[in-house]
Amino acid sequence: MDAGELHSQPGIVITGMGLATNLGRDVNTTWAGIRAGRIGLGPMSEMESPLPPSSVGGQAMDLPAQYSPELPREARYLRWVIEQALKEASASYKPDRCATILGTTLHGIRAGGRFLRSDDPGELRNFLANSVIRLATGGLGLGGRCATTCSACSSSLGAIALGVTMLQTGSADLVVAGGYDAVSEYAWAGFNSLRLVTNDGVKPFSRHRRGMMLAEGYAVVVLEREADAAARGAKPLVRVRGWGESADAHHLTQPDPKGQGAARAMRDALSRAGLQASEIGMIAAHATATPDNDAAEYAALRSVFGESLESIPVVGFKSYLGHTLGGAGAVELVLSACALRSDWIPPCATVRQEDVEFEGLRVTPPSGTAGRISYTLNTSLGFGGANTCVILGHAEEVAQVRSYPALPPPQAWITGIGVLLPGITGVPALVEALDGPETLIVPRSAAACISDDQLAQVLNVRRVRRLSTCVKLMLASVSMAIKHAGLENNTERLEKACAILASTHGSSGFCSEYYTQIVREGVLGANPVLFAEGVPNAAAAHVSTNFGIRGACQTIIGSRTAGLDALGLAAMRIQAGAAQTILVGAAEETHANVDRAYRHFNLCEEAAAGRGFFTTPGAVALVVESSASAMARGVRPLARLGGSVAVSGTAGKSTDVGCAAECDAPTRALRLIGADGAVLGSDNRSWIDRAEENAVNAHPGATLVHSLHDRTGDLFAAGSLLAIVRALAQGSHDAMTALCTDFAGVASAMRVFRSGQVITTGPDA
Cα gap 270→279, rounded to integer Å: 10
Residue 245 pLDDT exceeds 50:
yes
Residue 145 pLDDT exceeds 90:
yes
Convert the pLDDT of each residue in 498-551 to its tens digit. Answer: 999 999 999 999 999 999 999 999 999 999 999 999 999 999 999 999 999 999
Residue 332 pLDDT exceeds 90:
yes
Q: Do 425 and 456 fall into the same domain?
A: yes
Average pLDDT rounded to a whole number, residues 201-220: 95
Convert the pLDDT of each residue in 218-236 to its tens digit. Answer: 999 999 999 999 999 999 9
Q: What is the pLDDT of residue 601?
A: 87
User: Where does the pLDDT of residue 610 fall: very low under 50, low under 70, confident under 90, or very high at 90 and above?
Assistant: low
* Residue 523 forms part of a structural domain: no
Which of the listed residues 361, 394, 427 is the one where a domain comes to its end? 394
Q: What is the pLDDT of residue 383?
A: 76
* Residue 60 forms part of a structural domain: yes
Average pLDDT rounded to a whole number, residues 26-36: 97
Q: What is the pLDDT of residue 655?
A: 39
CATH number of 640's domain: 3.40.47.10
Q: Do 461 and 328 fall into the same domain?
A: no
Nearest residue to 162 via CA among 208, 219, 203, 102: 102
Which of the listed residues 338, 363, 394 is the one where a domain comes to its end? 394
Average pLDDT rounded to a whole number, residues 156-183: 97
For 187, the 3-state DSSP assignment is helix
Nearest residue to 320 via CA among 353, 287, 342, 295: 287
CB 481 within 8 A of CB 585: yes
Q: Do 731 and 591 fall into the same domain?
A: yes
Convert the pLDDT of each residue in 619-633 to its tens digit. Answer: 999 999 999 999 999
Q: Do 200 and 340 fall into the same domain?
A: yes
Q: Do 314 and 460 fall into the same domain?
A: no
Is the pLDDT higher at 377 or at 609? 377
Average pLDDT rounded to a whole number, residues 394-413: 71
Q: What is the pLDDT of residue 375?
A: 97
Average pLDDT rounded to a whole number, residues 94-100: 96
Q: What is the pLDDT of residue 500?
A: 98
Residue 661 pLDDT exceeds 90:
no
DSSP per-residue codes, 590-634 = --HHHHHHHHHTT-BPPTTT--SB-B--EEEEEEEEEHHHHHHTT
Cα gap 414→368, rounded to integer Å: 52
Give this prediction's pTM.
0.95
Q: Which of 194-198, 443-447, 619-623 has the lowest average pLDDT? A: 443-447
Q: DSSP secondary-structure letter at 51?
A: P
Q: Do 27 and 152 fall into the same domain?
A: yes
Is residue 69 packed enough to be buried (19+ CB in 10 Å), middle (13-18) or exposed (0-12)? exposed
Q: Which of 10-24, 114-128, 645-659 has the lowest average pLDDT? A: 645-659
User: Where does the pLDDT of residue 652 fall: very low under 50, low under 70, confident under 90, or very high at 90 and above?
Assistant: very low
What does R_g of the chain's alpha carbons equal in angstroms? 24
Portion of the chain with pLDDT greater than 90, in percent: 80
CB 222 within 8 A of CB 14: yes
Per-chain mean pLDDT for the chain: 91
Q: Do 212 and 277 fall into the same domain?
A: yes
Residue 437 pLDDT exceeds 60:
yes
Which of the listed residues 344, 365, 394 is the one where a domain comes to its end? 394
Q: Which of 330-334, 683-687, 736-740 has the lowest average pLDDT? A: 683-687
Q: Do 439 and 375 fall into the same domain?
A: no
Number of domains in the chain: 2
Convert the pLDDT of each residue in 253-272 to its tens digit. Answer: 788 889 999 999 999 999 99
* Residue 671 forms part of a structural domain: yes
Q: What is the pLDDT of residue 298?
A: 97
Enclosing domain of residue 737: 412-505+558-761
Q: Do 307 and 428 fall into the same domain?
A: no
Q: Do 225 and 269 fall into the same domain?
A: yes
Q: Which of 208-212, 408-412, 606-610 has the lowest average pLDDT? A: 606-610
Q: Do 388 and 425 fall into the same domain?
A: no
Q: What is the pLDDT of residue 128?
A: 96
* Residue 549 forms part of a structural domain: no
Residue 82: which H helix or E strand, with range?
Answer: helix 73-89
Residue 315 pLDDT exceeds 70:
yes
* Residue 169 forms part of a structural domain: yes
* Residue 525 forms part of a structural domain: no
Orientation angle between helical segments 562-575 and 719-730, nearest 10 degrees: 70
* Residue 455 forms part of a structural domain: yes
* Residue 469 forms part of a structural domain: yes
CB 296 within 8 A of CB 204: no
Q: Do 366 and 477 fall into the same domain?
A: no
Cα gap 212→288, rounded to integer Å: 6
